[in-house]
Amino acid sequence: MPQLPNGVRHRPEYLNRARQEALVAAIRAVVADAPLFVPVMPGTGKPMSVRMTNCGPLGWVTDKQRGYRYQEIHPITGKPWPGIPTELLEIWDDVSGYRKPPQACLVNFYSDEARMGLHQDKDEQDLEAPVVSISLGNACLFRVGGVSREGRTLSFKLSSGDVVVLGGEGRLCFHGVDRIYPATSTLLKNGGRINLTLRRVTP
Ligand code: SIN
Ligand code: FE2
């Protein structure tokens, strides 16, 4: 495999099956409290193909009028987001190399048809902290590029239990999900893929 950009780390099979199952249970509890919503693009109002929710003191949301941002409450229920499950805080402590805890965990749910266009995670004020990404369920084709949109990209498969860290020079690398590979995991009974990204928002 060609070399990943500096600062981008892929840890295949980081979570064993038992830890993946525990995480799915924890995320189901999050979704029960903070239901999945359909994010829409700023300006155009075009819906994204993923559904999302968050846990943590802050959650990432987007809508037509106000665009990409972090806020303390769920956009539909108006309630504070549920806390970040301890299983996720342990992963952050192990892989982030960052002394402060994450403030947001974005939960993206992909149906087998969903995808995510190439983008940077840059709505955070604290760019010293990495973004830690955890994959559960069906595999996907993940694409990562450099810090400019025009740069060369490379693609590789992310499977259930894999962790990716975007840190240091790689913190602002463009990335996206080109496709989901149906029926490649038995973790989620109804198929699809869950991606969890842990972020530190304020310094
Ligand atoms: C994201 O960039 O928010 C999600 C990445 C992924 O699904 O692996
Ligand atoms: Fe992202």
What's the average model confidence in pLDDT over 80-97?
A: 98
| Predicted local confidence at residue 156, as pLDDT | 97
The set of residues, in sequence order, having a beta carbon less than 8 Å from that of 73 and lying 6+ positions away, is 59, 79, 80, 81
Measure 120 CA to ligand 2 centroid, in angstroms: 6
| Predicted local confidence at residue 1, as pLDDT | 65
DSSP state of 113: T
Ligand 1 atom 4: residue of nearest CA: 195
Sign of the torsion formed by the C-alpha atoms of 46, 48, 49 and 52:
negative
Measure 70 CA to ligand 2 centroid, in angstroms: 14
| Predicted confidence (pLDDT) at residue 3 exceeds the cutoff of 70 | yes
User: Are the C-beta atoms of 38 and 54 separated by less than 8 Å?
Assistant: no
Q: How does pLDDT run across 136-166, given as a tens digit for each residue?
A: 999 999 999 999 999 999 999 999 999 999 9
| Predicted local confidence at residue 124, as pLDDT | 97
Partners of 27 in beta bridges:
none
* Nearest Cα residue to 110 out of 54, 181, 165: 181
Q: How does pLDDT run across 8-34, given as a tens digit for each residue?
A: 999 999 999 999 999 999 999 999 999
Ligand 1 atom 2: residue of nearest CA: 176
The set of residues, in sequence order, having a beta carbon less than 8 Å from that of 28 and lying 6+ positions away, is none
| Predicted confidence (pLDDT) at residue 101 exceeds the cutoff of 80 | yes
What's the average model confidence in pLDDT over 36-59?
A: 97
Measure 173 CA to ligand 2 centroid, in angstroms: 9
**Rg of the chain's alpha carbons, rounded to an integer?**
16
* Nearest Cα residue to 33 out of 84, 88, 91, 104: 84
| DSSP string over 33-49 | HS--B--B-TTT-PBPS
| Predicted confidence (pLDDT) at residue 168 exceeds the cutoff of 70 | yes
- Ligand 1 pocket test, candidate residues 108, 123, 164, 174, most atoms within 8 A of CB: 108
Ligand 1 atom 8: residue of nearest CA: 195
User: How far apart are alpha carbons 46 and 49 in whole angstroms?
Assistant: 10
- CA 65 from centre of chain: 23
* Category of 7 on φ-ψ map: left (φ > 0), alpha (ψ -120 to 50) or beta: left
Residues with CB under 5 A from ligand 2 (ion): 121
What's the average model confidence in pLDDT over 58-75?
A: 97
Measure 172 CA to ligand 1 centroid, in angstroms: 13
Model pTM score: 0.97
Mean pLDDT of the chain: 97
| Predicted local confidence at residue 2, as pLDDT | 74
Complete domains list, the chain, with CATH: 8-199 (2.60.120.590)
What's the average model confidence in pLDDT over 27-42?
A: 97
